[in-house]
Amino acid sequence: MTLLVLVPFAGALITAVMPARPKLWAFGFAIATLVVGLVTMFTAPDTDLVWMEPLGVHWALEMDGFGKLMVLLTVALVPITMVAAVKDHDKRWYAWALALEAFALLTFLAADLFVFYIAFEATLIPAYFMIGQHGGPHRAKAALKFLMFQLGGGLVLLGALIGFFVVSSDAGSPSYLISDLAQLDIGTTAQRWIFVAMFIAFAVKAPLFPVHTWLADTTEQATTPTSVLLVCVLDKIGTFGMIRLCLGLVPEASAWATPVVVVLALISIVYGAVLAIGQDDLLRLIGLTSLSHFGLITLGIFAATREGLVGAILYMVNHGVATAAMFLIAGFLITRKGTASISSMRGLEKATPVLAGTFLVAGLATAGLPGLSQFVSEIMVLISAFDYHWLVGVVAVTAIVLAAIYVLWAYQRIFTGPAQLSRRPVHDLDRREVGVLVPLLVALLFFGFVPGPLISAAQPVVAPLVDVIQAGE
């Protein structure tokens, strides 16, 4: 299982020094990671080695159903974005992308909180350079803002990490294994502090209102392949952590904080969607739709019913696929028009029918159209929201309406209407671009009709969590 982390990491180093055809090497390593990921998913045993004895840190990796879904999403998205990125990114980006993949995989595999934390923080360095080295004119500033938010959240998480150490050493010998930490009997006050620290960190990561402000700036300035890796892979670590660590380790405090979290989630859902409607910059728009979606995921997590949690896990996968498609299509559109401003585009439908069609499919998936994968997860989350409180359900349901507005209105403004007269003809998607999008769209359709495999992977993870929480109530 260590191999799954080492392959992309070695790939990053080799790509960085390879003088000839570094991008091909990077792509090769991404494919190798995909293969290793698929193989380890079914064969590899868990890893558990002592790493730093005095601190009770173990190099412990394991993959449950939830982990498998996130690993699958990660190893599949990286090679796809690499193909999408090939024209306007140099080898530094490819090396950083592989490093990012290695650390992201490590967070999803970590069975030791310390290892999780290290990987959680280490993802920021590649992300920082990916934003800073490629993208819009204000990218350095966006990278700094991104990093400051994330590191701030990370340091707060460090407080929780140390809190666990103190509790764990008081209880005997220190251990950072998540399975050991789950056994600890933590006092109510300490548990609440630890929860607050962890939640702040994951809320920054996910992001949730009111610590979301880095998101739109980052997606605006970064290139779209970078945004895909940030929003579709990296941000998932936030919601992943909420399930794995908040619910898993401090369930009582999670139940205690649920009302506040639910309100924040509802604000994120509505506020993100309303902001998205008002955006003129397509990339900001997509970034803000994610704020709305992460609100729904968080709502599903903290409603803490079986449907809600399964729905949230599914949502993480489906949102990853749908938003990746949205970002990449937007990226293709922007390379053609040279701007991300919606108001400077119109009538592209006739010149670029394939582009328009894929945009519509991905957009409707985002909006939760039945038959496309995100619908299933959205419905499950909404059911759990109604279970929690009917008022919460009512507010959350507006997400569907608002999503339809921001997707369809954007489509209308960009693609319909009289065609622009332009000296430079706009070409439709070429074969490489279609090739990038096909796997994503197929996945959207397939999991829309056959969500069974995803649900059965998530079920066993969710059941014990829900039992613990319901026993607590």
Binding to other proteins (CB under 8 A): which residues in 39-98? 51-55
* Residue closer to other proteins (CB basis): 4 or 130: 130
How far is CA 342 from each of CA 283, 374, 412, 462, rounded to the nearest angstrom?
10, 25, 10, 41
By the rule CB under 8 A, 6 interacts with other proteins: no
By the rule CB under 8 A, 165 interacts with other proteins: yes
By the rule CB under 8 A, 174 interacts with other proteins: yes
**Nearest approach, Cβ of residue 140 and other proteins (Å):** 4
Encoded amino acid at 236, one letter: K
Q: Return the closest-CA partner of residue 98 out of 279, 235, 225.
A: 225
Q: Which two tokens stand for residue 2?
A: 């260590």
* Residue closer to other proteins (CB basis): 156 or 286: 156
By the rule CB under 8 A, 112 interacts with other proteins: no
Question: Which residue in the set 155, 354, 394, 442 belongs to the binding site for other proteins (CB under 8 A)?
Answer: 155
By the rule CB under 8 A, 125 interacts with other proteins: yes
Report the C-alpha gap between 447 and 377 in whole angstroms: 10
* Residue closer to other proteins (CB basis): 193 or 409: 193
CB 293 within 8 A of CB 301: no
Q: How many other C-beta atoms are found inside a 10 Å radius of the C-beta of residue 160?
A: 24
Name the phi and psi angles at 186, rounded to 5. Answer: -100, 135
* Residue closer to other proteins (CB basis): 153 or 393: 153
Report the C-alpha gap between 173 and 170 in whole angstroms: 8
Report the C-alpha gap between 63 and 289 in whole angstroms: 30
Cα radius of gyration (the chain): 21
Question: Which residue in the set 30, 72, 156, 246 belongs to the binding site for other proteins (CB under 8 A)?
Answer: 156
Report the C-alpha gap between 167 and 281 in whole angstroms: 48
344 CB-near residues (< 8 Å, 6+ apart): 337
By the rule CB under 8 A, 459 interacts with other proteins: no
Question: Which residue in the set 35, 166, 354, 450 belongs to the binding site for other proteins (CB under 8 A)?
Answer: 166
By the rule CB under 8 A, 162 interacts with other proteins: yes
**Nearest approach, Cβ of residue 160 and other proteins (Å):** 10
By the rule CB under 8 A, 397 interacts with other proteins: no
How far is CA 75 from each of CA 66, 100, 228, rounded to the nearest angstrom?
14, 11, 13
By the rule CB under 8 A, 411 interacts with other proteins: no
Binding to other proteins (CB under 8 A): which residues in 134-153? 139-140, 143-144, 147-148, 151-152
* Residue closer to other proteins (CB basis): 124 or 462: 124
By the rule CB under 8 A, 362 interacts with other proteins: no
* Residue closer to other proteins (CB basis): 25 or 117: 117
Interface size with other proteins, residues (CB under 8 A): 35
Report the C-alpha gap between 221 and 384 in whole angstroms: 36
- Find the length of the chain: 473
**Nearest approach, Cβ of residue 38 and other proteins (Å):** 28
CB 247 within 8 A of CB 304: yes
Beta strand extents in 294-450 (DSSP E only): none
Question: Which residue in the set 104, 122, 198, 369 belongs to the binding site for other proteins (CB under 8 A)?
Answer: 122
CB 369 within 8 A of CB 375: yes
By the rule CB under 8 A, 405 interacts with other proteins: no
* Residue closer to other proteins (CB basis): 155 or 260: 155
> What is the 8-class DSSP label of residue 342?
G
**Nearest approach, Cβ of residue 411 and other proteins (Å):** 35
172 CB-near residues (< 8 Å, 6+ apart): none
Q: Which two tokens stand for residue 305?
A: 């019913």
Binding site for other proteins (CB under 8 A): 51-55, 117-119, 121-122, 124-125, 128-129, 132-133, 139-140, 143-144, 147-148, 151-152, 155-156, 158-159, 161-163, 165-166, 169, 174
